[in-house]
Amino acid sequence: MYIAAAVLSVLLALGSLAAGAPKALLKGDVPAALRSHMGLSAGLVRFIGVAEVAAAVGLVIGLFWQPLGIAAALGLVVTMIGAVGFHAKAGDYADPTTRNNALSPLAFLLLAAATAVTLGLAM
């Protein structure tokens, strides 16, 4: 069970780092789209990015100290629930042009939940 937990943790950490770094630095298309399309402030976008990067670090450290990995995965679950809510509020799930981007937080939510459960079972 630990191997599955480790694989899920690494995958989630890589995805979280890749998604969070541009937001934390406010560089690229995603932070600009979050600010213009969703109406989020630059500070909130940066906070979300820093939280995602911190979760990636927590997941990697969680490979050696599992309670931190579980906490990081659960933190991502909460963050992704918020992201799904913001996308739903913006109507992204009904619009075919924005639906694909809006499904990413849902996939991360499911992966984070599976990682948290798997890490918990591996303890």
Q: For 21-49, what is each residue's pLDDT tens digit?
A: 999 999 988 888 888 888 889 999 999 99
Please tell me the pTM assigned to this model: 0.91
Residue 73 and residue 66: Cα distance in Å, rounded? 10
SS3 62: coil
Residue 97 and residue 55: Cα distance in Å, rounded? 29
Domains of the chain, residue spans: 2-122
Q: At what angle do helices 42-61 and 66-90 cross, to 10 degrees?
A: 150
Q: For 66-113, what is each residue's pLDDT tens digit?
A: 999 999 999 999 999 999 999 999 898 998 988 888 999 999 999 999
Q: What is the pLDDT of residue 66?
A: 93
Q: 24 near 49, Cβ under 8 Å?
A: yes
Query: What is the average pLDDT across 51-69?
Result: 96
